């Protein structure tokens, strides 16, 4: 009856393994699932906000890369966790604001227009 004994041992081992996995899943804190490329939110550095409750990244506790489509050129972009951290914590961007334009479009908007908006000076001709 060696095989029966072995089978029993295997069952026992499997049960132990499952129990161990279950126990670990229950005790491990959720924040250990934070993605590697995410950035922890420093809530003290954020611009003041009120009344509407914590924005998703504050509730979550970290920034994650967010895909978005540029409003101007319809190009798919990623607003990276680092860029979000800079925007909210360094530039003090409103916590409910989000990226809507790609870098190229933002640069175009900031750049002076190709055509001068200042009208040429009229020469006053002495009559």
- Residues at the contact surface with Zn ion, assessed by CB under 5 A: 70, 72-73, 102, 105
Rounded to whole angstroms, how far apart are CA atoms 34 and 109?
Answer: 35
Please list, in sequence order, all residues whose beta carbon lies within 8 angstroms of the beta carbon of residue 40, skipping any fewer than 6 positions away.
Answer: 34, 61, 62, 63
- The CB-of-103 to Zn ion minimum distance in angstroms stands at 8
Q: Residue 123 in contact with residue 101, Cβ under 8 Å?
A: no
Nearer to Zn ion, 25 or 76 (CB): 76
Backbone φ, ψ for residue 109 (5° rounding): -70, -35
Nearer to Zn ion, 58 or 105 (CB): 105
Q: Residue 36 in contact with residue 65, Cβ under 8 Å?
A: no
Q: Residue 111 in contact with residue 79, Cβ under 8 Å?
A: no
Nearer to Zn ion, 58 or 70 (CB): 70
- The CB-of-87 to Zn ion minimum distance in angstroms stands at 17
Q: Residue 57 in contact with residue 43, Cβ under 8 Å?
A: no
Nearer to Zn ion, 64 or 105 (CB): 105
- The CB-of-73 to Zn ion minimum distance in angstroms stands at 3
- The CB-of-64 to Zn ion minimum distance in angstroms stands at 21
């Amino acid at each position: 009856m060696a095989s029966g004994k072995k089978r029993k041992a295997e069952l026992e081992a499997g049960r132990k393994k499952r129990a161990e996995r279950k126990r670990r899943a229950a005790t491990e804190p959720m924040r250990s699932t934070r993605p590697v490329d995410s950035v922890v939110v420093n809530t003290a550095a954020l611009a003041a906000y009120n009344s509407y409750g914590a924005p998703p990244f504050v509730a979550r506790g970290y920034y994650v890369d967010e895909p978005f489509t540029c409003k101007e050129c319809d190009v798919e972009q990623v607003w990276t966790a680092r860029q979000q951290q800079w925007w909210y914590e360094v530039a003090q961007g409103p916590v409910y604001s989000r990226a809507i334009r790609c870098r190229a479009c933002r640069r175009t908007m900031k750049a002076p227009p190709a055509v001068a908006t200042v009208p040429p000076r009229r020469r006053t001709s002495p009559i």
